[in-house]
Amino acid sequence: MTFRALHVEDEIDPRLQFARVLDSLSMPWEAVSAESLESATVALATQEFDLVVCDILIPPVDGSFARAAEHGFAVYDLVRASHPGTPAIFLTGHASDVDAWRPLENSPTIDLFGLGQDEGLTRLIQKDHPEKLRDYLSRMTAEMAALAKIDLATPSGTEILDVDERCLRIIARRRGGARVDITPSRGLSGASSFLAFAFDKQDRPVIRAFVKTGPLASMEEEEARHHRFVGQLLDSGNYPGIADRVIANARSRGALCYSFAGRYQNDLISLFADDPARFESTVARVREMVAPWGATAQRVSVNLGALRRLRVSDDVVDAYAGNYADLFARVEERTLDATEVVQHGDLHGLNVLVDSVGTPLLIDFADVGPHIGADDPVNLELSFIFHSQSREQGWLDVSTAHGWVDDDMEKSGMRHAVIARVCRGWAREAFEWPVDYLIPTFVHALRQLKYPDTNKEVAIEIAAAAGNALLGD
């Protein structure tokens, strides 16, 4: 990976000197130059960086000679607002600037390299000590090289973003990890999530975890959701806690590390494929785990069109609706009373890990919160039809999908009847049947249209079946 630094400096000699320093380092660096607050603003809005180096005295626009510290301060504000996890160095030749910036020099402090030591995310260096800038760049490069030596073992063909690999290595290094065995656990949304098992140099396990990576803002939101809806509502021991986080030195991305003690080598989709008899008892245990969420239930009025638009856009639905366009429009005009209750919100089969004795563990809490209807049971049932890693994917044809909401789906001799009976039984017993089942079935069937590898004809037929039932047709 080539590291990228933004250098904000209006004079040519310092820019050339900075480029020479980068060329001398042991790993490749790319310098992006900006000569003013204006061009720095453009660069920060359009690119991501591993480091920002900025002279405090810069002009407002390229070509201007009106250098002022306020423009350097404005760059600082931009970096912290739009690139909050990016290390930054500010250069000054004036003692007054040192006094002004001293309160910010060591705030905030973060463990940037997985050393277990917090250090300043923003630093101030005086121009008459150029060796301090060289030393910082050399040390940063050396620490990045040390991180790169941690082996990431992934299945053949796995592609992981470089910055996500860095997050995984930072988490492992904090625990003395030398190797991380990684299994991607991707949902339909393509979110970056991994089962990670780290080992030290003696091949002793140091952590078993589910690691989620993504934009920093989404990681912060997920952590807040986990605290509010999981940590405060569910019984401890029924969910993985957040053991670690990466909030800096991964460009615009970050990571949450959910650790667990058991050996959860399976998930609900693979469990059903290998041992359908255990599926029902495992889902029953999931229901027990999330039962406290039921205390948050309330009846609300919901417009079906507005609800669907939260999951998939009009353009996508219009592209596939075909002869059902009028039906969908009539359904989405309806406003119905339904149950709103805290749920997982993305309970596909891969988000339920299962250990060797059938104990389940929920993972991936990006969408946990209040949802309409039997969202979790419906998500679980449909994941066996639409998820790319489900071995059940492909058995359902259009004619069978047309009768999706019929009771016969639970009574037939088809393999999926077990899944239908278990998931719809959950919906019947814990929600208002049938409206709380039909609403999320309509919405989540249409949601499948936005994913590239789902059967669009089957999704349309399931949505039509639910829509007709909602209209009473």
**Torsion angle defined by CA atoms of residues 335, 338, 344 and 347, in that order, rounded to the nearest 10 degrees:** -80
- Residues 292 and 358 placed together within one structural domain of the fold: yes
pLDDT of residue 102: 57
**Torsion angle defined by CA atoms of residues 181, 184, 144 and 27, in that order, rounded to the nearest 10 degrees:** 110
Q: What is the CATH number of the domain that holds 272?
A: 3.90.1200
- Residues 163 and 137 placed together within one structural domain of the fold: no
- Residues 353 and 392 placed together within one structural domain of the fold: yes
Beta strand 51-55 pairing with 179-184: unpaired
- Residues 289 and 421 placed together within one structural domain of the fold: yes
The tens digit of pLDDT for each residue in 261-296 reads 878 878 999 999 888 889 999 999 999 999 999 999
* Encoded tokens for 106: 């060591």
Q: What is the CATH number of the domain that holds 128?
A: 3.40.50.2300
The tens digit of pLDDT for each residue in 61-77 reads 999 999 998 999 899 99
pLDDT of residue 63: 92
Segment 338-355 mean pLDDT:
95
The tens digit of pLDDT for each residue in 374-406 reads 999 999 999 999 988 887 766 778 888 888 888
Instruction: Tell whether the model's pLDDT for residue 45 goes beyond 90.
Output: yes
- Residues 197 and 82 placed together within one structural domain of the fold: no
- Residues 315 and 433 placed together within one structural domain of the fold: yes
Instruction: Tell whether the model's pLDDT for residue 429 goes beyond 80.
Output: yes
Q: How many domains does the chain have?
A: 3
Segment 118-135 mean pLDDT:
90
**103 vs 414, residue with greater confidence:** 414
CA distance 57 to 448: 53
Segment 453-459 mean pLDDT:
93
- The last residue of one of the domains, among 145, 177, 202, is 145
pLDDT of residue 191: 47
Segment 343-351 mean pLDDT:
95
- The last residue of one of the domains, among 96, 125, 145, is 145
- Residues 180 and 38 placed together within one structural domain of the fold: no
The tens digit of pLDDT for each residue in 169-216 reads 999 999 999 999 998 875 444 448 899 999 999 999 999 999 999 999
Segment 236-265 mean pLDDT:
91
- Residues 26 and 168 placed together within one structural domain of the fold: no
- Residues 358 and 455 placed together within one structural domain of the fold: yes
- Residues 299 and 425 placed together within one structural domain of the fold: yes
CA distance 14 to 25: 17
- Residues 288 and 364 placed together within one structural domain of the fold: yes
- pTM over 0.85, yes/no: yes
- The last residue of one of the domains, among 108, 130, 145, is 145
pLDDT of residue 98: 59
pLDDT of residue 192: 86
How many CB atoms neighbour CB 323 within 10 A? 8
Q: Which residues pair with 215 in a beta bridge?
A: 253
Classify burial at 121, counting beta carbons within 10 Å of its beta carbon; exposed 0-12, middle 13-18, buried 19 or more: buried
Q: What is the CATH number of the domain that holds 188?
A: 3.30.200.20
Q: Which domain holds residue 302?
A: 266-471
CA distance 373 to 298: 10
CA distance 382 to 123: 51
**415 vs 259, residue with greater confidence:** 259
CA distance 164 to 154: 13
pLDDT of residue 362: 93
- Residues 298 and 444 placed together within one structural domain of the fold: yes
